[in-house]
Structures are given as C-alpha cells and as structure tokens.
Amino acid sequence: MAKMIRIELSDIDLGQTLDALDTRAEAYEKTAAYLDGEPLACKFFLPEEVNDSYEARRIAEHFRSIMANIQEQWRR
C-alpha cells in the first residue's frame, strides 16, 4: 500500500494544484481521442507520449482520481 502523506497548502495554491491536474488530465483525454481517430479540436495540440488510447485514458483517470480525492478532503 502507498504511504500516506499530509501536505499543507494555502487555498490559492490548492486551487492552482487542482487546475494543473485538470490540465494534465485534459491533455491525456485529448490524446486518447486523437489516437482513436477523432479530429483535433486545436491545431496547436501535441499528443502525450503513450502507447495507445487505453493508456492515455488510464492516466487521465488517475489524474481525475487524484483531483477527486483532494476535493473531497478540501470540503471537510
């Protein structure tokens, strides 16, 4: 099992952290869509380095899971 770590951040820094996680998740979601053959929504998009769309989706889901965990703790 992973070791649990406690981190203290200001509410502003926590918001910035959540925003960064959202940006990373979105990049992997877009990569999965691209690898599945969907057209790019933005011509400046660079796909993430992954083996396939399944891996990209799993990474995006992991980022979303981290976000949900942080948001749940923030509401307490």
Give the domain ranges of the chain.
Answer: 11-75
Record the tokens describing residue 61, joined without a space.
């889901």
pLDDT per residue of the chain (76 residues) written in tens, 0 to 9: 889 988 899 999 999 999 999 999 999 999 999 999 998 878 888 999 999 999 999 999 999 999 999 999 988 7
Rounded Cα distance between 37 and 31, Å, is 10
Instruction: Find where tokens 């203290």 sit.
Output: 8
Phi-psi label, residue 50: left if phi above 0, alpha if psi -120 to 50, beta otherwise: beta
How does pLDDT run across 18-37, given as a tens digit for each residue?
Answer: 999 999 999 999 999 999 99
Nearest to 28 by CA among 52, 44, 4, 3: 52
Rounded Cα distance between 50 and 43, Å, is 19
